[in-house]
Structure 1
Amino acid sequence: MELTTVWFILIAVLWAGYFLLEGFDFGVGLLLPVLGRDDRERRLLINTIGPVWDGNEVWLIVAGGATFAAFPEWYATLFSGFYVPLLLILVALILRGLAFEYRGKSDSPQWKFWWDLAIVGGSLVPAVLWGVAFGNIVRGVPIGRDHEYVGGFFNLLNPYALLGGLTTLTLFLLHGAVFLALKTDGEMRERAGRLAVRVAGPTIVIAAGFLLWTQLTHRDAWGWALSGAAAVALAGGVLAARARREGWAFIATGATIVLAVAALFVTLFPDVMPTTLPGGDSLTTANASSTPYTLKVMTWVAAGCTPIVLVYQAWTYWVFRRRLRVEHIPAGGH
């Protein structure tokens, strides 16, 4: 297998891992005002992701760095053409991180209200715009023969990409609700479980519509297979959530996200950014990649460092595996 293909697969794995882990973070943030009826309950929700949210974002940093090093032309075209949505995502993630750190610095209700709003907004914007961005990458964008994006911001707001944004939003909401049912206990666990079941219906309809549109357009055999597997996993997650089997439900919703991302990357290959212009030139794994020597060095570094990172992150989740209850949150604390 060529190293360009290996790195395309590795980047797909990194994005799948990011959406799997950061997806439930976004879901928890979006559900903060829905499930958190008072300050103590909202602190409980934040504490469920408190030990892991910043580690989950490392997957995004590594995915961006790997794209820059392995496929510099893909990185350049993507970040210049998608400058506005990516900037909005970056600002949202910064505000969200600040909110987690500064929300408890004051007992003022107004102070906490604005930081709660930052958490919700900082979760909503990426949850939608990542789907819009990947929808455009798979659909194709206007790229000239010089590999420069020649469209505008509103070219990115097409029906297919907007449906992609709704798909990631609803999937992350479902994934977050299932995570909260798994990570909490008592009344919050029951409330999150009931919400997951209610969110499941719209999620199935929207996600199925997006994946079906994708495969009817591209007609890729592997894409059909992975999309079908994602649909089965999603249905299994819904059934598990109804049966209050939170662990199996979380595994199933996580598998849905991973399989959906895999379906998009398989459908995209060997392109990395197809063009919609008749005289344009699509970016592929061949014409957008770094030199073979660069890819070889990167492969050795990744082979040595990746297992260490995975073991450390798995250990973090194991240490903080305990369910949380409202009673664990001190009354009147930060």
Structure 2
Amino acid sequence: MDLNTLWFILITVLFIGFFVLEGFDYGVGILLPFLGKNDDERRGIINTIGPVWDSNEVWMITAGGAMFAAFPQVYATLFSGAYLVLVLMLLFLIVRGVAFEFRSKRAEARWRNTWDWMLFIGSLGAAVLWGAVVGNLMRGLAIEADMNYYGGLFPLLNPFALWGGVTLVALFVMHGANYLVLRTTGDLEARAKEMAFKGWMAALIATVIFVLWAYFATDILTSGGLIPAVIAAVLLILVGVFVKQGAFGKAFLSGALTIAFATIMVFAGLYPRILISTIKPEY
């Protein structure tokens, strides 16, 4: 195994950690305004991720640092080409982080409700854009021979990439709902159980559409991503089985593994590439 392959595997592992751990964080943030019916319940929901949400972000930072260290040209192309998308994602993350800190500064219901919705917007926006980034990595970017991206913002928000965002949101909602079932009690737990099944149904439908679309629009499944995709599909089905059985610990674990193998699918399909040029594959 050469050094490039070793770094590629390391970056894959870091993104697995990020999507699995930050996935339920985003999911909880998205579900916050809908599952919490009063301030106490919403405070309880936030408390379930309060000790971990910021540490989970470290996986993303470390993955970016590893990419800069191992593949600086890829880092330069990706971060400059997708600059506007990444800045927009950063704004969503800032809104999300500020919402965690500012919500408890005042006791007025309007103040706290505003920051609850800011947390929802930040979590939803970041999840959608992460899905769009993944979709564009799978589909490819308009990269010329000089390793520069030529295309602007709107080509990055193409239908396939945006559906990738929808799919990731659905997976994160499912993951977050299963997490909340394990961390809450009473009426809140009951609503989380109901949402866990609805989230699973949405994730299943969105994922099936995305994978079929990916088969025709990309070469990810034919370039090494098929086996992890099949494993992820089996695990996703198991999530629904465990939710119906009320085995939410197993459902949460299966959901985490689903996201992990979906991430492996993307990177295995990309290998030995990281960025694909839609202008000319040789680039």
Range into which the TM-score falls when normalised by the shorter chain: over 0.9
Aligned residue for 1:91?
Answer: 91
Q: How does 1:72-83 map to 2 (within 5 A)?
A: 72-83=72-83
Aligned equivalent of 2:226: 224
Query: 5+ unaligned residues in a row in structure 1: which ranges?
Result: 283-334
C-alpha deviation, 1:221, in angstroms:
6.1
Number of the residue aligned with 2:136: 136
Partner residue of 1:259?
261
Q: 2:250 aligns with which of 227, 248, 257?
A: 248
Q: Which has the larger radius of gyration?
A: 1
Residue of structure 1 equivalent to 2:40:
40
Q: Contact (CA 8 Å) 1:215, 1:224: kept in 2 or not?
A: no
Is the Cα contact below 8 Å between 1:30 and 1:123 reproduced in 2? yes
Aligned residue type for 1:157: L
Question: For the residues of structure 1 that align with 2:22 and 2:192, how far apart are their CA atoms?
Answer: 18
Instruction: Work out whether 1:171 is the aligned partner of 2:171.
Output: yes
* Counterpart AA for 1:206: A
Letter in 1 for 2:183: K
Q: What is the distance in 2 between the residues matched to 1:3 and 1:214?
A: 30
Matched, 1:277 2:282: no
CA contact 2:143–2:277 (8 Å) conserved in 1: yes
Alpha-carbon RMSD across the aligned residues, in angstroms, is 1.2
CA contact (8 A) 1:215 1:223 kept: no
Match in the other structure for 2:51: 51
1:162 and 2:162 matched: yes
Deviation at 1:246, TM superposition (A): 1.0
The answer on whether the counterparts of 1:275 and 1:281 sit within 8 Å (CA) in structure 2 is yes
Code of the residue aligned with 2:147 in structure 1: it is H
Task: Name the residue aligned to 2:180.
Answer: 180
Higher relative contact order (CA 8 A, sep 6+): 1
Give 1:26 shift.
0.4
Distance 2:113 2:187 in 1: 23
Cα distance, 1:114 vs structure 2: 1.8
Aligned-pair identity (%): 47
- Alignment check: 8 A CA contact 1:12 1:262 kept: yes
| AA of the residue aligned to 1:98 | V
How far off its partner does 1:132 sit?
0.4
Q: CA deviation at 1:75?
A: 0.7
Instruction: Report the CA distance between 1:212 and its aligned residue.
Output: 2.9
Deviation at 1:211, TM superposition (A): 2.1
Aligned counterparts of 1:281 and 1:150: Cα–Cα separation in 2 = 16
Whichever structure has more helix as a proportion of its residues is 2
Corresponding residue number in structure 1 for 2:212 = 212
AA of the residue aligned to 2:4: T
8 Å CA contact retained: 2:223, 2:268: no
How many residues are paired up?
281
Is contact 2:223-2:270 (8 Å) kept?
no
